[in-house]
Amino acid sequence: MKMFLTRMGEATRMIITGDLTQTDLPRGQVSGLRDAVETLERINEISFHYFSSNDVVRHSLVSKIVHAYEALHKNKYDD
């Protein structure tokens, strides 16, 4: 991720898409996306947008699936 982000030229706009909840990395290995968010979120010229289950535009059931995972994650890790 750092290699990609440091290639920005003048008048360049970069859009990085990803889902922090979806990763297939081995346990303990840091996601490049998560690292970028945590490293860059305090830079004023960089912004992040987070979607929720309300933003799903696929089948209505997909929104319910996303919501169920969000609830599980919240209950599992916020206790």
Say yes or no to pLDDT of 75 above 80. no
Q: Where are the domains of the chain?
A: 1-48, 53-79
Say yes or no to pLDDT of 79 above 70. no
The model's pLDDT over 1-19, given as tens digits with 9 standing for 90+, comes to 999 999 999 999 999 999 8
Task: Please state, in angstroms and as integers, the Cα–Cα distance from residue 61 to each residue in 21, 28, 29, 64, 66, following that order.
Answer: 18, 32, 31, 5, 9
The radius of gyration of the chain's CA atoms, rounded to the nearest angstrom, is 15
Looking at this protein, which amino acid is placed at residue 21?
T
Q: What is the pLDDT of residue 47?
A: 95
The model's pLDDT over 14-67, given as tens digits with 9 standing for 90+, comes to 999 998 888 899 988 989 999 999 999 999 999 999 988 788 778 889 888 888
Q: What is the pLDDT of residue 76?
A: 64
